[in-house]
Amino acid sequence: MLFYLIIVIVTAADQLSKYAIRSMLQVGESMPFYRDFLTFTHYQNTGAAGSSFPGSARYLGVLAVIFIIVVLYYRQKGKIQGFLKESGAAFFVGGAVGNGVDRLLYGKVTDFLVFRSGNGVLNLADLAINLGVLLIVADLLVSLRERKM
């Protein structure tokens, strides 16, 4: 149940935040949010992470759908078990759904989170995907440590 709840919350938060940005800011327009740490700047990305593969949003959207189906299949077969692994997979799928919706409906992904570190422009789906990867890696490290003991 938690698995699906995480997916729904991540997808809803991602889509609502993107809708708000598209409604409030023109493409390229910025709005400081939290001191100098975070700025909202409306970008449209037609490619993948870091604007790689520009113009391939629909193809990437189809790949996201395939990925989501594969993860759901493996979870149904009991291959994704344990709190960290299940939570990580759920955050990853929620992020893939959020960005996949943008790619399939609009042919581009709305990005808007610009952190002071200057390491690209993100959205909530991207953050969820990164969190998912971290949780899965943490699960892997815990499993490796337990095997050594």
Catalytic residue list contains 126 = yes
- Other CB atoms closer than 10 Å to residue 42's CB: what's the count? 20
Taking the C-alpha atoms of residue 12 and residue 36, their distance in angstroms, rounded to an integer, is 27
Q: Among residues 14, 36, 102, 126, which one is catalytic?
A: 126
Pairing of strands 30-34, 38-45: antiparallel
Residues 6+ away with beta carbon under 8 Å from 108: 44, 45, 46, 57, 102
Catalytic residue list contains 102 = no
> How far is residue 149 from each of residues 18, 81, 135, measured CA to CA in Å?
46, 21, 21
Tell me the residue ranges of DSSP E strands in 1-149: 30-34, 38-45, 109-115, 121-122
Q: Among residues 14, 36, 102, 111, which one is catalytic?
A: 111
Catalytic residues: 111, 126
